[in-house]
Amino acid sequence: MTANVSHTPATPPFSDASDSYRMTAAERRASFSLSGLYALRMLGLFIVLPVFALQAAHYPGGNDPAMVGLAMGAYGLTQACLHLAFGAASDRWGRKRVIVGGLLIFIAGSLVAAMAQSITGLIVGRMLQGAGAVSAVISALLADQTRPEVRTKALAMVGASIGLMFALSLVLAPPLAAVAGLPGLFVLTAALAVLGIWLLLRRVPPEPPRHTTQANAGMRALLTHGPTLRLNAGVFIMHAMLLALWVAVPGMLVQAGLAPAAHWQVYLPAMVASFGVMAVTLFPLERRGYTRAVFLCAIGVVALVLLGLAWAASAGVGAITLGLLLFAFFCCSNILEACQPSIASRAAPPNARGAAMGFYNTLQSLGFFAGGAVGGLLMRQLGAVGLFVTLAGFTLLWLLLAWPMAPLGARGEVQDAATAPAPRA
């Protein structure tokens, strides 16, 4: 019988409480290398988004916004079906080998999309890309190798790398698409995934021992755990909103007089500046015990920004106003992208952490799929104003669901709501 080995990252002695929030050398290496792996994969996904709707119009069937939205979000559907399976498999067979298998599937999907001759072919390729559902496993591996006190910072590094790749994709996508079209971008995506496999095998630290017993019990507990269910509902709404946003925003920038090749001039400054805001707000407030307050405020501000975008769509504002609204949106989305997976990983039992992050990422991917598919339908039926008002309504629902969230313990662990002290809000 295999022993149930529990692994907790080694915790060196600290002279005071503030030192415990500093990463060790091993935690820094794990955070940087896994952030790089995440970045390579997400650059491949992001680089098609800024030009996808425009380029897809040249494919047979690409004149239907609903079909284009479906193609944009199709990878989220297959990810949603497989995240939980990949996460549970990594609990049993190891994180790295599952990640390699998923990246190979992702490469195959990228090549199928590169060879597509119609919008249907693009949908098939995007679905196969999504079948390489390793995001949850990467997050679980990072959680395995970091302490609760620094996990938000480690996951914020992942979030920052994703944000930077998104910003880079905004700069690179238009000129690359002009030269190579969508097929060339999908070939580049496959090449980046190959580089990701090399990084995983050569630079990521060895993974800790696996938990091989009680995994099924931990899995069952996840399905009835109230805080986990609320977090998963929230991540669904957030990522549906994120993808639906890009059904309308590029067209609004064009109407504001900004050519598609120049959209990065709005996206890039807003994204980079938002990271600075996150650094000076989230981490100091987290050390003081205000994670819950920051989390809830960020959701509320997102709802206000979406209403602002609805007003902007009806008033026909300029690119500067749109840039300011997007800056506020990026500030909040970056904070939420760092907080939510950190809280989810802390709440998960170590012997089912991969499954817990798989559950979380399943809802995240379903959100991406819903955002692309339903966002396209809402845009066709209600226009941009109706789309943003609907998204604001769902964001307010998210705020109501998140409100019962318990505060975090002094060392970053998730407390039980029944025994937690009154929250700092």
Within a domain: residue 3?
Answer: no
pTM for the full model? 0.68
Cα(410)–Cα(425) distance, integer angstroms: 16
Instruction: Give me the mean pLDDT over the 342-346 stretch.
Output: 73
Within a domain: residue 8?
Answer: no
Which residues contact residue 414 at a Cβ distance below 8 angstroms, ignoring those fewer than 6 apart? 227, 343, 346, 347, 406, 408
Measure the CA dihedral 235/241/246/250, to 10°.
-140
Q: What's the pLDDT band for 244 if we cut at 50, 70, 90?
A: confident
Instruction: Give me the mean pLDDT over the 22-50 stretch.
Output: 86
pLDDT one-digit tens code per residue, 94-151:
889 999 999 999 999 999 999 999 999 999 999 999 899 898 888 888 888 888 778 7
Cα(243)–Cα(241) distance, integer angstroms: 6
| Contacts of the segment 204-208: beta carbons below 8 A, 24+ positions apart | 204/30, 204/33, 204/34, 204/37, 204/96, 204/141, 205/26, 205/29, 205/30, 205/33, 205/145, 207/94, 207/95, 207/96, 207/141, 207/144, 207/145, 208/7, 208/9, 208/144, 208/145
Q: In the structure encoding, which two tokens stand for residue 184, read together?
A: 């060339």
Which residues contact residue 297 at a Cβ distance below 8 angstroms, ignoring those fewer than 6 apart? none
How many domains does the chain contain in total? Answer: 1
What is the pLDDT, as a whole number, of residue 226? 67
What is the pLDDT, as a whole number, of residue 221? 60
Instruction: Give me the mean pLDDT over the 322-328 stretch.
Output: 92
Evaluated on CA atoms 109, 113, 118, 119, the torsion sign reads: positive
Within a domain: residue 411?
Answer: no
Within a domain: residue 98?
Answer: yes
What percentage of the chain exceeds 90 in pLDDT? 22
Is residue 89 within 8 A of residue 98, CB to CB? The reply is: yes
What is the pLDDT, as a whole number, of residue 402? 85
Nearest to 176 by CA among 50, 36, 38: 50
Cα(343)–Cα(360) distance, integer angstroms: 11
What is the pLDDT, as a whole number, of residue 304? 95
Evaluated on CA atoms 337, 340, 341, 342, the torsion sign reads: positive
pLDDT one-digit tens code per residue, 177-193:
889 988 999 999 999 99
What is the pLDDT, as a whole number, of residue 185? 92
Number of residues assigned to the chain: 425
pLDDT one-digit tens code per residue, 203-238:
888 887 665 545 455 556 666 666 677 778 888 998
Q: In the structure encoding, which two tokens stand for residue 135, read together?
A: 């995001």
CATH code of residue 144: 1.20.1250.20
Per-residue DSSP letter, 8 = -
pLDDT one-digit tens code per residue, 364-413:
777 877 887 788 888 888 888 999 999 999 999 999 988 887 665 434 44
Cα(340)–Cα(233) distance, integer angstroms: 11
Is residue 399 within 8 A of residue 295, CB to CB? The reply is: no
Give the position of tokens 């090399």.
198
Is residue 361 within 8 A of residue 263, CB to CB? The reply is: no
Within a domain: residue 420?
Answer: no
Domain containing 198 equals 25-204+216-402
Q: What's the pLDDT band for 256 if we cut at 50, 70, 90?
A: confident
Within a domain: residue 424?
Answer: no
Within a domain: residue 211?
Answer: no
Written as one letter, the residue type at 143 is A
Within a domain: residue 293?
Answer: yes
- Class of residue 221 by CB neighbours under 10 A (exposed 0-12, middle 13-18, buried 19+): middle
Nearest to 128 by CA among 92, 78, 173: 78
